[in-house]
């Protein structure tokens, strides 16, 4: 008997958002060239991916000394991708406090059709105006709660309802630290599905080697939309590897609209040749998941640990204990300096 055909997710339809050209920016040190983005987007479009997200790794206007300077402007990236795609929707990510109303308007002018507004998992209220503006601009408004391992399901429901009330048509839970296990994902997705009247999505990181497994748990719990990246390209140990995820979902009978062979070719022929290194789970990225630290902290933490000659694992544990979140990258330096002083009085 073929047991996988008995799973409840058989014959379900799940939307795919590819974040290779946004989350993948972290792994590329934000040095994607516009022409490289265009080539990747064209391959994803040909494979049938529904939405392709494009921006700096930390969202629109993220290019800065704090988060890392990008090789091109958001406008240049969006223009290159918009010209390369025919069927896929162009999406962007915006973090309130980094991106502004003008950035959202600029993205719309460049053809963006979906806007994901991301906040820390307890700060949904700071994204209300941005979600509302996205709707007014004619973009699909999507709310995103980050670092969702840090709070229990009831709190996430409370925060997700704020985004729903603001007009979000889809609310995403991000395991930004790659710290969750399947039961954690299942409990959170099920809580939102039972409490909200909008679609629910899930975005995984692979720091504990659970990205595809956690994404499957999300789908089984009722997620309507999930994320992936070609070759897993993303912050920390990367995201759910899209071509693997599509193959697994296809084996389970889940409809994604993505051509398995074509997405495999996109990964191997277009993305792999431009990757600076293979996306693997090394000790540093493993510690991100273990300590529950924001995945985009990885490269910053490596530089700080090397600069101040301290063990990056200790830095990660301390950052986790301090419950640091996205936007607090400056604390990485502070922690490394403090540790160096302890070692070398």
Tell me which residues are annotated as active site: 26
CA-closest candidate to residue 156, choices 147, 148, 167: 148
Structure tokens at 311: 């063990």
**Residue 50: partners with Cβ closer than 8 Å, 6 or more residues away:** 15, 16, 17, 88, 89, 257, 258
Using CA atoms, how far residue 242 sits from 79, 106, 121, 211, in Å, is 24, 29, 25, 10
Output Rg (C-alpha) for the chain, integer angstroms: 19
Q: Of 246, 244, 233, which is closest to residue 205 (Cα–Cα)?
A: 233
Strand partners for 15: 225
- Pick from 89, 95, 80, 5: which is nearest to 44 by CA? 89
How far is residue 90 from each of residues 7, 181, 272, 294, measured CA to CA in Å? 32, 30, 22, 25
**Pair of tokens at residue 67:** 């988060």
Half-sphere exposure of 56 (CA within 13 A, CB side): 23
Beta-ladder partners of 202 = 173, 226
d(C-alpha 175, C-alpha 186), whole Å: 12
How is residue 212 written in tokens? Answer: 């595809």
* Cross-strand bridge partners of residue 116: 93, 142
Q: How far apart are CA 37 and CA 41, in angstroms?
A: 6
Residue 39 CA, chain-centre distance (Å), reads: 21
CB distance 171 to 200 below 8 Å = yes
């Amino acid at each position: 008997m073929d047991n996988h055909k008995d799973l409840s997710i058989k014959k379900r339809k799940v939307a795919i958002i590819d974040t290779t050209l946004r989350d993948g920016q972290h792994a590329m040190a934000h040095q994607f060239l516009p022409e490289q983005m265009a080539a990747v987007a064209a391959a994803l479009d040909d494979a049938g991916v529904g939405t392709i997200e494009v921006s700096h790794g930390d969202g629109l206007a993220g290019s800065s000394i704090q988060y890392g300077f990008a090789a091109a402007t958001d406008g240049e990236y969006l223009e290159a991708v918009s010209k390369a795609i025919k069927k896929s929707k162009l999406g962007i990510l915006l973090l309130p406090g980094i991106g502004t109303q003008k950035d959202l308007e600029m993205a719309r002018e460049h053809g963006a059709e979906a806007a994901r507004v991301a906040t820390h998992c307890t700060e949904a209220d700071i994204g209300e105006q941005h979600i509302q503006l996205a709707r007014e601009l004619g973009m699909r408004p999507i709310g995103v709660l980050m670092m969702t391992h840090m709070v229990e399901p009831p709190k996430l429901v409370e925060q997700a309802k704020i985004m729903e009330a603001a007009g979000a048509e889809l609310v995403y839970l991000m395991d930004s630290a790659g710290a969750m296990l399947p039961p954690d994902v299942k409990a959170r997705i099920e809580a939102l599905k039972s409490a909200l009247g909008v679609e629910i999505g899930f975005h995984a990181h692979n720091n504990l080697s659970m990205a595809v497994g956690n994404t499957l748990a999300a789908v089984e719990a009722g997620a309507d939309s999930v994320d992936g990246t070609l070759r897993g390209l993303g912050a920390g140990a990367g995201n759910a590897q899209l071509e693997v995820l599509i193959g697994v979902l296809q084996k389970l009978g889940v409809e994604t609209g993505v051509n398995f062979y074509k997405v495999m070719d996109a990964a191997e022929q277009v993305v792999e040749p431009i990757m600076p290194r293979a996306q693997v789970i090394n000790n540093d990225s493993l510690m991100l998941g273990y300590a529950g630290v924001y995945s985009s902290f990885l490269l910053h933490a490596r530089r700080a640990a090397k600069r101040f000659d301290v063990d990056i694992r200790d830095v990660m544990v301390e950052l986790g204990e301090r419950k640091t979140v996205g936007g607090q990258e400056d604390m990485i330096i502070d922690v490394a300096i403090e540790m160096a002083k302890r070692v070398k009085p």
